[in-house]
Structure 1
Amino acid sequence: MIPTRNAEDSPLFITALARGVSVLRAFSEGQPAMTLPELAEATGLSKSSVQRFAHTLWTLGYLRKDPGSKKFSLAPWSLELGMKYVQTSPLVLGGNPFLHMLNRNSQETCSLAEPDGLDMVYVARFATHKEMFVNMPVGMRLPLYCTAAGRAVLARLDASVARGLLERCDRKAYTVGTITDMDALLAELEFARRNGYARSNGEFYPGDITVSAAVLDAGGTPVGAVNVSVPSSRWSFEQAQAVFGPQVMETAHAISASRTLGRTRPFYEMEPPGGALRGAALEAEGL
């Protein structure tokens, strides 16, 4: 059974702060700019609450406000929140030199991803100079179940824990190649355990082939995964595995052995991000 906890039930939880953060999190590629009523709908907060939070965030420099449309959008200063993470993360700092070496040797796009809830978050990336159509910026979140990085991490967990995480995933098909069947997914995890690397073939982005191996902390807990991504226009699925499987395993092992990673709490024991923020916001508004 996967442990869960309700962080918002703690007396240490500050609901007002959570509501403010929910305003920052409301913006997305589909909604890059919003009026106060739109922000209220997106967050579940009242218009008066959103007005106070938006004004405060604008004053602090995290939001912009268009004087004509009255729409708010994220300001460049909001990047500081994410940049502080990549500048202080032991996984990123310890992994970057090895990831850069992998990028130079493979001449392909190489990434480092970290598990968070039911997603993999891309925390470092070195792009190829060759043709590559997939945009995978740092901070991008992709599901555990349909990514090579996610499967690499799941394969290093206890089988019952890995299955429980897969069952919690909303296993929808992003492409015609997305594997959603539980037995087929468990077979992919077994492949990763047997071969030392995981794979995916156009399961989130059509034509994107990815090979990945897990990074382990000092206690053997998976804390991330090294990826090499290539387009199917230049590589076959079999060729990519044969060439990059050994390379990602070697790089992941080097990061794991670099002594930059201490023992960490397993990611699956932590509260999935976002749920507490919106739940607390709605509760505070009496919804």
Structure 2
Amino acid sequence: MSDTPNSLFNQSLEKGLAVLRAFNAAQRTMNLAEIAEAAEINKSSAQRMIHTLEQLGYVRKHPQTKRFQLTPRVMEIGYNYLAADTLVDVANPFLAELAQVTGETTNLTEPDGLDMVYVARFVAPKFIPIHMPIGSRIPMYCTGSGRAYLSALPDQEALAMLQASDRQAHTRHTLTEIDAIHGQIVATRQRGYALNQEELFLGDMSIAAPIIGSQGLPVAAVHVVIPSSRWTLEEAERKLAPSVIECARAIRTSIRTL
């Protein structure tokens, strides 16, 4: 919970959003005590928040287990963001073309804090090892799209974000030392695309390029998924990287014509 003094800040709204965010893949259903603990609020506040959210249709209680869960109405909030996001509309045809050219799944991610969030995705008919639906979050420091985004920031800002990241090892390939990750970001800046070689998920590689906005700063990244079962990283770089860079450039040009 926020402890910053601000007369306009509504703590009740903050608590309500904390309750909604408390539900996830690991906590699909919860009782009141579990909600209070997950949202880091007291049980009395949790009861008020969950009652309000239930009345509004964002959560429901199972009649037998008495455990609460989210309802599909929660998706309305995320959908409204996507519907209002001009970048998604602009990027979709280019992502579709990239998927057709490469034969692999293509994605658009946007930054939120120290993560990249999936906002558009074109899934190839071929098998991909990891399913990342719209709204999924991935850390910047160990992913292709994250490094692509960081590479287009001023270097000191990128370094500050790396230092603030919880740089845990997700696989045996994950780079966690700032110097090593920064080296990858510098290389990305020089060649125009970023690489991820099974640093977040085994079997999952990617090539990514930043999308630069009208102010000269990155606003998103596009990346293509490269399953290690079908590609070596070297072969993918040679055959796919130019198409990924061109896709990002085309989206950038289209944004500026709006």
TM-score range relative to shorter protein:
over 0.9
1:190 maps to which of 183, 186, 192: 186
Give the gaps of 5 or more residues in structure 1: 1-5, 263-287
Q: Do residues 156 (structure 1) and 145 (structure 2) align?
A: no
CA distance in 1, matches of 2:5, 2:97: 45
The amino acid of 1:183's aligned partner reads D
Q: Aligned to 1:180, which of 152, 158, 176?
A: 176
1:244 deviates by 1.6
- After superposition, the Cα gap between the structure-2 partners of 1:260 and 1:136, relative to the gap in structure 1 and judged at 3 Å, is farther
Query: Within 5 A, what are the aligned runs for 1:235-274?
Result: 235-259=231-255
What's the RMSD between the two structures over aligned residues? Answer: 1.5
State the AA in 2 paired with 1:77. R
TM-score, normalising length: structure 1: 0.86
CA distance in 2, matches of 1:137, 1:208: 15
Comparing 31-40 with 181-190, greater Cα deviation is found at 181-190
Alignment partners' CA distance in 2, 1:120 and 1:52: 32
Please point out which of 100, 106, 115 is paired with 2:102: 106
Do the aligned partners of 2:105 and 2:123 also contact (CA within 8 Å) in 1?
yes
The separation in 1 between residues aligned to 2:10 and 2:193, in whole angstroms, is: 42
SS at match of 2:254: coil
> Which 5+ residue runs of structure 2 have no aligned equivalent?
none
The answer for the alignment partner of 1:84 in structure 2 is 80
> Does the 8 A contact of 1:218 with 1:261 survive in 2?
no
Encode CA deviations 1:178-218: one digit per residue, 9 max, x unaligned: 01122211111111111100001000010111000000111
Tell whether the 8 Å contact from 1:111 to 1:228 is kept in structure 2 after alignment. Answer: yes
Amino acid corresponding to residue 102 of structure 1 in structure 2: L
For the 8 Å contact 1:40–1:47, the answer to whether it is kept is yes
**Counterpart contact for 1:113–1:122, Cα < 8 Å:** yes
1:9 Cα deviation (Å)?
A: 3.3
Distance 2:255 2:214 in 1: 7
**Equivalent pair of 2:152/2:189 in contact (CA under 8 Å):** yes
Q: Deviations over 1:6-37 (max 9, x none)?
A: 89533221111111111101101111000111
Q: Following TM superposition, where does structure 1 have runs of at least 4 consecutive aligned residues deviating by more than 6 angstroms?
A: none
Identity %: 44
TM-score, normalised to structure 2's length? 0.96
How far has the Cα of 1:257 moved from its partner?
A: 0.8
Cα 1:22–1:236, aligned 2, differ >3 Å: closer, same or farther?
same
